[in-house]
Each structure stands twice: as C-alpha cells, then as structure tokens.
Amino acid sequence: MQTEFTYTRSCPQHSKQPKPCGAPLFVWSPHADCAVQKHMNSLGLDVLEHCTERGLHLRIREDDDPRIAKVTAMSRGRAFWTGTPKAEHTLRAVARVRTLQMVVLSRWDSEGIDDADVDIVSRLPWKKWYASLSTKCQGLLWIYRAGAVHSSTRAQRDRSNGFALCVYCGFHTPSFRHWWSNCPRFNDDRATAASCSKLSPFPHSFWNLAPRCTSKFGWITYTASTDADARAHFAIAAAQVALAVMDATEALMDLDVSGAMSSTS
C-alpha cells in the first residue's frame, strides 16, 4: 500500500475509543481537524463530522470510481461512520482502490486494473488458502502480487541483448504471461489448479482470456464473475499457477525469496 495511505487507516480509529480513566484517547483540535481532513481527502472522502463514540462521519463523492460504491456498500446512502470493524475494513478497501488508481494505464500489464476486485484478499476462501501455504510460497506470493516477477524477456531487455527463446518450448517472447497462460511446460499446473478449484466447471478459457493484471499481479476483475467467492477462487487458481512458474523458473529469474520475506516482516 502506498505510504500516503497508511495513516488514513489508523487516523479515524484514534478519534473514538475512550481511555479506561474516562479521558479521551484523542483530543480534537484545529490541527487534528486539518490532519484528518487531509488524510481523508487523499482517499477521496469528505468528513462531515466527528464523534468520540462513533468515529468519523464520512461521505463518498458522486461520480467516483464505481468500486468505491461497491466497497462502501455496507453503508446506507453515501455516508458512514468509521467506529465499527466493518467500516475500518471499508477504509482499507478504499485505500486499495486509490492505490490501484495510481497505476500508469499505458503499461501493458495494467490491462484490467481499473476493474480489479480489491476485496479478494479479504475473502474467506483466499484467506484459508493463503494460511495453508509454506513460508517460501508465501514469500513468492508477495513477489507475484507486487508485480515483481521476472521473465526471460524482462531480463534480456534489462541487459539490452535482445530476447531469448523460451527454454521450455522455444517461444520467441517468453514473458511471464506466456509461462502462466499457454507454455506447454505448465499445462499440468493449469490443469491441476482448475481441477482443484471449487469452481465447477472451471472455464479453461480463463488462462487466455484473463487480462494482464491477472497474469502479472493476480488481480481478478469484476468482469470475471459476478460472484465474490468465485472471484476469490479464480484468484487462488491464478496464484497457484504463478507459484508453479516461479518455483520452476527461480534460477532463471534470480529470485531472492529470503530477501523478499525479510523486507515484508
């Protein structure tokens, strides 16, 4: 998550819970009001009022990204109070939307990012699957979700030596997308991910039709399914294949998994 959004998640929480002695944990002041207004403005939310017991009263803006309305659907109308765990989750989801809005859309791998479901990582199917992973796989998953995966095309471009052929099938531009979606080397991994999925039947066209934000980062779009849990299962399948690719090509991509884990701890 972008640094500018980190404080927006904790700021409203400090305005609600009283200390055991009865003194407020957070004393409102013009300085505090200015800071809160600035934090909430970075999320595109208007501050209507504040209350020690209920937190901040926030309002989403008209004509905003449609995903903002989706992630704030817990409220009635366009305004909500922050003093509940559900509302705190809503602020995190809004921050995720704002972060994805910062992606430069001219990038090839940004395809579909403006339709990505930011709540997938909060879904129960995803959380259960993530908890079942080994430490190494969780480290690889951090790299994949951050879009920091490498491939032969990227490595060759970095060295300005042209493009190398795919070491598995001879394809002329072996990008990570190629390995993930159609390289024969990973046919079994795609089949396993599909057969183990809770989705029945699993659409085998998923791998070729998925936008690049799915193959590169694991984001699943609302277009993929109208069902939230189904999108979570698509995300699991996408990540399973990505992990298989990363594990098989670790030497090629020169990944430092231990370094990735230490930077996220």
pLDDT value of position 128: 97
Residue 157, pLDDT > 80, answer: no
- Range in 145-154, 192-201, 222-231, 252-261 with the lowest mean pLDDT: 252-261
Stronger pLDDT, 159 or 256, i.e. the higher one? 159
Mean pLDDT value across residues 165-189: 93
pLDDT value of position 19: 41
pLDDT value of position 113: 96
**Over the stretch 70-128, which tens digit does the pLDDT of each residue have?**
888 755 578 888 888 888 888 999 999 999 999 999 988 899 999 999 999 999 999 99
Mean pLDDT value across residues 188-216: 95
Stronger pLDDT, 51 or 7, i.e. the higher one? 51
pLDDT value of position 129: 97
pLDDT value of position 74: 57
CA distances from 46 to 38, 54, 79, 203 (A): 10, 16, 9, 42
Exposed, middle or buried, 229 (CB in 10 Å: 0-12/13-18/19+)? Answer: middle
pLDDT-derived band at 53 (thresholds 50, 70, 90) equals: confident
Reference 85, options 41, 59, 55, 113; nearest CA is: 55
CA dist 233 and 220 (Å) reads: 10
Per-residue DSSP letters for 110-140? GTTGGGB-TTGGGSHHHHHHHHTS-HHHHHH
pTM: 0.80
pLDDT value of position 26: 61
CA dist 48 and 77 (Å) reads: 14
Stronger pLDDT, 145 or 152, i.e. the higher one? 145
Tokens of residue 19, six digits: 């200390």
The set of residues, in sequence order, having a beta carbon less than 8 Å from that of 91 and lying 6+ positions away, is 8, 9, 12, 43, 82
pLDDT value of position 187: 97
Residue 46 bridge partners (DSSP) = 59
Tokens of residue 178, six digits: 């190629």
**Secondary structure class of 51 (helix, strand, coil):** strand
